[in-house]
Amino acid sequence: MIVDKREEFVKLGYKKEVLKEIFGIIENNMVSQPVEICLHKDGKLFDLTCDDASFFEEIVVNSVREFVKELESDDLAEVQSYEDSIYDKRFLYLNKQEVLQVVDVESRLLSGTSLYRLDKSVFKDYKNFDIIVKYFYREIGANIIGFQELDSRHIFDVKRLLFLDSADLKSRDRGIILKPKEFFDYFVVGDILFIRSVYYFENKFQFFKKYVTSKDEFVKEIKVNNNVLGRDIRLKGIDYFDKYVSERKTFLKKLHGIYKKGNYVNFEFEKLKEVITNFNLKINLVESNREIVLDEKTSIKEFLDLLSELYYVSLLSEDRLKANESVRL
């Protein structure tokens, strides 16, 4: 009995066993439709004809293989979610609906109605592009769309180009050589966006802005609540905290996770004080005012770890422990 797994391939590609099956398909099968290639810049999609699409088939195989190897080498059951990642790690995933620009590019690419003709003059105006490649495998039942950024290191404008055509050496007056990378910076399989390079991803889509927005909303919420956190915890030095976190990308990500989870709204001073005391945290407490002072005497990192609920007591050994925030339970 043949089991149709195409729905799993579309929705659950981040799970190791599903991704391994997807990899097996693209490694051992030809594409069901011709590979389509575009250059993308400033919202425009330029149609790019390629004589040898097999080169681009190797890129998608390499890209998926990297993710599978990462899962196997770290013995992970699934790709780590971008939303759960505090540090700038590689090999993450996100639902593509979270990135509207990717959804828009995919829609336009599939419709084929807004493609511009590519000519040499385009390369005079732009020094870098995104190269976008679409694949379709009938066995997967979903489009795979790969994205990679090409800059001046991968685009060459030559005045005279010699090339081999069969056994004859021929010449062209001018030529543009594109040298794609051997992997995609990020790619889509069905509903899932796989992120190999967080740097390219965040800079391309200005995705980092959401962390700043979360920080601003958190600080505003505290101030509107008369500088009270949770039920009864007074905070002094919220402006110092704002500036300190704003200058540190990792701390912005931590605070985004705290704000999104929202558990801090139920925190009480006595319980926080107990954790601070038991774990000897460097946090400036003024017990008489039920207050935490956010200044040079307070470790903002430990304060954020406290709000992230990373400190706990083992139920088995009763040891005091700190959770690894990179591990999702």
Q: Could you read off the pLDDT of 246-268 as tens digits, one per residue? A: 999 889 989 998 999 999 999 99
* In a shared domain, residues 257 and 218: yes
Please tell me the distance from the alpha carbon of residue 55 to that of residue 104, in angstroms, as a whole number: 26
* In a shared domain, residues 244 and 176: no
Please tell me the distance from the alpha carbon of residue 257 to that of residue 248, in angstroms, as a whole number: 15
Q: Judge contact between 151 and 123, C-beta under 8 A.
A: no
Please give the radius of gyration of the chain, using alpha carbons only, rounded to the nearest integer. Answer: 25
Please tell me the distance from the alpha carbon of residue 51 to that of residue 49, in angstroms, as a whole number: 7
Q: Which of 174, 205, 236 is the last residue of a domain?
A: 205
- Looking at the predicted structure, is the pLDDT value of residue 126 above 70? no
| pLDDT at 219 (0 to 100) | 97
- Looking at the predicted structure, is the pLDDT value of residue 315 above 90? no
- Looking at the predicted structure, is the pLDDT value of residue 5 above 50? yes
Nearest to 82 by CA among 266, 237, 177, 208: 208
In a domain, 327, yes or no: no
For residues 149-173, average pLDDT: 52
Please tell me the distance from the alpha carbon of residue 60 to that of residue 23, in angstroms, as a whole number: 9
Any idea which of 44-53, 166-175, 192-201, 299-308 has the lowest mean pLDDT? Answer: 166-175
* In a shared domain, residues 96 and 218: no
For residues 304-315, average pLDDT: 88
Please tell me the distance from the alpha carbon of residue 208 to that of residue 220, in angstroms, as a whole number: 19
* In a shared domain, residues 165 and 293: no
The pLDDT confidence band at residue 163, using thresholds 50, 70 and 90, is: very low
Higher pLDDT, 159 or 301: 301
In a domain, 180, yes or no: yes
Nearest to 259 by CA among 210, 300, 192, 302: 210
* In a shared domain, residues 74 and 198: yes
* In a shared domain, residues 30 and 149: yes
Please tell me the distance from the alpha carbon of residue 201 to that of residue 157, in angstroms, as a whole number: 27
In a domain, 328, yes or no: no
Nearest to 326 by CA among 310, 307, 302: 310
Q: Which of 190, 205, 220 is the last residue of a domain?
A: 205
Nearest to 66 by CA among 232, 231, 195, 154: 195
Q: Which is it for the CA torsion 92, 134, 183, 202, positive or negative?
A: negative
Q: Judge contact between 46 and 115, C-beta under 8 A.
A: yes
- Looking at the predicted structure, is the pLDDT value of residue 13 above 90? yes
Share of the chain above pLDDT 70, in %: 84
Please tell me the distance from the alpha carbon of residue 285 to that of residue 145, in angstroms, as a whole number: 52
* In a shared domain, residues 221 and 189: no
Share of the chain above pLDDT 90, in %: 54
Structure tokens at 315: 């139920």
3-state helix, strand, coil in the chain (%, to 5): 40, 25, 35
* In a shared domain, residues 230 and 171: no
The pLDDT confidence band at residue 122, using thresholds 50, 70 and 90, is: low
pLDDT tens track for 206-225: 888 888 999 999 999 999 99
pTM for this prediction: 0.75
Reduced to 3 states (helix: H, G, I; strand: E, B; else coil), residue 15 is strand
* In a shared domain, residues 80 and 193: yes
- Where in the sequence is the domain holding 305, given as residue range(s)? 209-322
pLDDT tens track for 41-99: 888 888 877 666 778 889 999 999 999 999 999 899 999 998 777 666 789 999 999 99
Residue in the structure block whose two tokens are 């017990």: 287
Please tell me the distance from the alpha carbon of residue 269 to that of residue 213, in angstroms, as a whole number: 27
In a domain, 84, yes or no: yes
- E strand residue ranges, the chain: 36-41, 44-48, 80-81, 92-95, 115-117, 129-137, 142-150, 155-158, 161-165, 168-172, 175-178, 186-189, 192-195, 228-229, 233-236, 284-286, 291-293, 311-313, 320-322
Higher pLDDT, 82 or 14: 14
How many structural domains does the chain have?
Answer: 2
Please tell me the distance from the alpha carbon of residue 176 to that of residue 127, in angstroms, as a whole number: 12
* In a shared domain, residues 137 and 243: no
Q: Which of 162, 182, 205 is the last residue of a domain?
A: 205
For residues 121-148, average pLDDT: 84
In a domain, 329, yes or no: no
| pLDDT at 262 (0 to 100) | 94
In a domain, 249, yes or no: yes
| pLDDT at 125 (0 to 100) | 62
Residues paired with residue 285 on neighbouring β-strands, in sequence order: 292
* In a shared domain, residues 189 and 228: no
For residues 89-116, average pLDDT: 87
Nearest to 275 by CA among 242, 213, 323: 323
Residues 301-327, buried b or exposed e (16+ Cβ, 10 A)? ebbbbbbbebbeeeeeeeeeeeeebee
* In a shared domain, residues 167 and 259: no
In a domain, 1, yes or no: no
The pLDDT confidence band at residue 15, using thresholds 50, 70 and 90, is: very high
Please tell me the distance from the alpha carbon of residue 226 to that of residue 232, in angstroms, as a whole number: 11
The pLDDT confidence band at residue 37, using thresholds 50, 70 and 90, is: confident
